[in-house]
């Protein structure tokens, strides 16, 4: 509406000027270059306007000719950038598709057209990685370190290469450099924590783990278990250094953090027992048993009650059984106590119930022991052992990363180096590891074979 009014106003002004000239025609006379010119005011003004228009056109033509080289250069640069960005995009698509040849070709084309290393170095490095040229990729990543805007990307690329090559020392150094640039990056915190834990830097790993949990890189529950495992390793380390108080302190911290975590419960109970506090040790076992019955808890309890009469041990194991009456472990633990006390009927009763709940080699082996102890019947014992040979394997500390089995819990897998990867479950591989480095400080832990007798 405003534009229409403005247009009508301009038309009105023009009409007014025309009418004014029509009412006041007037004459203009002058001589120029020997010519006498006589015309009306209107024609004179019109002539001036025509001359002015021609001058303007000629000026624009002159400017266009004068600026043509610069305009052409600007147009050429614009076209090069457009083609460069198109090549960069096609290269990224090729990387995502795993097309190494196209990615390399597009990286070279983009680099030549754009002449902007920060944009093309990463593509060139990724193309080299796809082609298996780690040396070239490493060169590009190192070049990226020289520019602040690409330094973090370069560190990430070098970190990925170090992890791929299994160079954890180099990977840890790179991860720490990257953290200085981007301290709150979730994936970096999770990676740094894992590298520090694998390197045995327990205190540093604990601090990084807390930051990773806060950043959302590690779930709360998972972080709680990992921290308990780190505290356990700090306890073993303190014991190796002869610091019994510190060993107990860290073990108790792990136990309080995760009361259902069997390794922590077993560790605290054993340290309390070694420190001359059997009642505290028994309370730890009883509390943990209520949450999760386990063969190692039963073994620690047997050690605590070692000086008790066999019948007294049975009574105390009956109390454990009362907390979890439907557990296989409760029946097996009570059956072993009954065997020691020569209560054959009670031992057979609980072993039969354990067999009904979950047949396993351990249960059949105990039934064979019962036949020998009660009747001296080797034939019946062999029959049970034949069934044991074909029964499902008993649970063991099994690495969830590589399937390796260890006789006692360890923070680090001796086969693949994974941290906090051992779960109590049926092993699927027949790969058995020697005890961890801290086995000497944990020498009285039972082996799996001992726990199943």
The tens digit of pLDDT for each residue in 111-127 reads: 665 565 666 777 677 77
The tens digit of pLDDT for each residue in 38-88 reads: 776 667 677 777 778 887 887 777 777 777 676 666 656 666 666 665 665
Q: How many residues does the chain have?
A: 453
pLDDT at 153: 84
Element holding 406 (H helix, E strand): strand 405-406
Neighbours of 19 (CB within 10 A): 10
pLDDT bracket for residue 333 (50, 70, 90): very high
CA dist list (Å): 230 to 191, 250, 422, 423: 16, 9, 13, 15
Percent residues over pLDDT 70 in the chain: 77
Q: Which pTM was predicted? A: 0.72
Is the pLDDT at 205 greater than 70? The verdict is yes
The tens digit of pLDDT for each residue in 92-148 reads: 566 556 666 776 666 666 666 556 566 677 767 777 777 778 888 888 888 888 888
Per-chain mean pLDDT for the chain: 83
The tens digit of pLDDT for each residue in 352-381 reads: 999 999 999 999 999 999 999 999 999 999
The tens digit of pLDDT for each residue in 376-429 reads: 999 999 999 999 999 988 999 999 998 899 989 999 999 999 999 999 998 875
What is the spatial distance between Cα 341 and Cα 45, in angstroms, rounded to a whole number? 132
pLDDT at 186: 93
Q: What is the DSSP letter of 452?
A: T
pLDDT bracket for residue 329 (50, 70, 90): very high
Domain ranges for the chain: 16-60, 221-307, 332-392, 394-453
What is the spatial distance between Cα 145 and Cα 318, in angstroms, rounded to a whole number? 66
What is the spatial distance between Cα 189 and Cα 211, in angstroms, rounded to a whole number? 7
Is the pLDDT at 450 greater than 90? The verdict is no
Those residues with Cβ within 8 angstroms of residue 224's Cβ, 6 or more apart along the chain or in another chain? 257, 258
Phi, psi of 200 (to 5 degrees): 80, 15
Cα torsion 186, 187, 190, 195: sign: negative
SS percent in the chain: helix, strand, coil, step 5: 70, 5, 25
pLDDT at 255: 95
Structure-token pair, residue 412: 């680090």
pLDDT at 108: 63
pLDDT at 266: 96
pLDDT at 436: 43
212-221, 337-346, 424-433: range with lowest mean pLDDT: 424-433
Is the pLDDT at 268 greater than 90? The verdict is yes
Is the pLDDT at 443 greater than 70? The verdict is no
The tens digit of pLDDT for each residue in 1-47 reads: 788 787 778 777 767 766 666 666 667 676 766 777 677 666 767 77
pLDDT at 12: 78
Q: Which residue has the tokens 């036949």?
A: 371
What is the spatial distance between Cα 406 and Cα 451, in angstroms, rounded to a whole number? 13
What is the spatial distance between Cα 198 and Cα 437, in angstroms, rounded to a whole number? 13
* Domain spanning 221-307: CATH 1.25.40.10: yes
Element holding 206 (H helix, E strand): helix 202-214
């Amino acid at each position: 509406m405003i534009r229409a009014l403005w247009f009508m106003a301009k038309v009105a002004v023009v009409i007014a000027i025309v009418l004014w000239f029509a009412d006041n025609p007037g004459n203009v006379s002058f001589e120029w270059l020997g010519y006498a010119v006589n015309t009306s005011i209107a024609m004179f003004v019109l002539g001036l306007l025509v001359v002015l228009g021609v001058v303007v056109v000629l000026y624009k033509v002159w400017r266009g000719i004068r600026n043509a080289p610069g305009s052409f250069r600007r147009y050429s640069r614009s076209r090069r950038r457009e083609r460069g960005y198109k090549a960069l995009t096609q290269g990224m698509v090729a990387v995502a598709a795993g097309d190494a040849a196209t990615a390399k070709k597009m990286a070279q084309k983009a680099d030549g057209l754009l002449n902007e290393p920060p944009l093309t170095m990463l593509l060139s490095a990724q193309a080299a990685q796809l082609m298996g040229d780690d040396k070239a990729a490493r060169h590009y990543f190192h070049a990226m370190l020289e520019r602040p805007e690409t330094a973090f990307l370069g560190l990430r690329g070098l970190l990925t290469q170090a992890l791929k090559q299994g160079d954890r020392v180099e990977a840890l150094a790179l991860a720490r450099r990257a953290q200085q640039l981007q301290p709150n990056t979730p994936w970096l915190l999770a990676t740094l924590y894992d590298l520090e834990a694998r390197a045995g830097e327990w205190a540093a790993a604990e601090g990084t783990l807390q930051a990773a949990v806060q950043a959302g890189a590690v779930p709360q529950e998972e972080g709680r278990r990992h921290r308990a495992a780190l505290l356990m390793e700090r306890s073993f380390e303190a014991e190796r250094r002869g610091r019994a108080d510190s060993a107990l302190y860290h073990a108790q911290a792990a136990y309080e953090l995760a009361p259902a975590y069997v390794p922590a419960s077993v560790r605290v109970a054993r340290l309390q027992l070694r420190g001359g506090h059997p009642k505290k040790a028994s309370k730890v076992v009883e509390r943990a048993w209520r949450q999760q019955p386990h063969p190692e808890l039963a073994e620690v309890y047997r050690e605590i009650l070692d000086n008790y009469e066999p019948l007294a041990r049975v009574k105390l194991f009956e109390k454990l059984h009362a907390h979890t009456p439907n557990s296989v472990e409760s029946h097996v633990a009570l059956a072993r106590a009954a065997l020691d006390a020569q209560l054959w009927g009670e031992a057979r009763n609980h072993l039969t119930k354990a067999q009904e709940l979950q047949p396993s080699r351990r249960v059949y082996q105990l039934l064979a022991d019962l036949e020998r102890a009660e009747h001296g019947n080797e034939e019946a014992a062999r029959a049970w052992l034949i069934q044991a040979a074909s029964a499902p394997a008993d649970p063991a500390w099994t690495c969830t990363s590589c399937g390796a089995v260890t006789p006692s819990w360890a923070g680090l897998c001796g086969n693949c180096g994974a941290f906090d990867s051992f779960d109590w479950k049926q092993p699927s591989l027949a790969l058995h590891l020697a005890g961890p480095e801290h086995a000497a400080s944990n020498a009285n832990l039972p082996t799996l074979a001992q726990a199943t007798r």
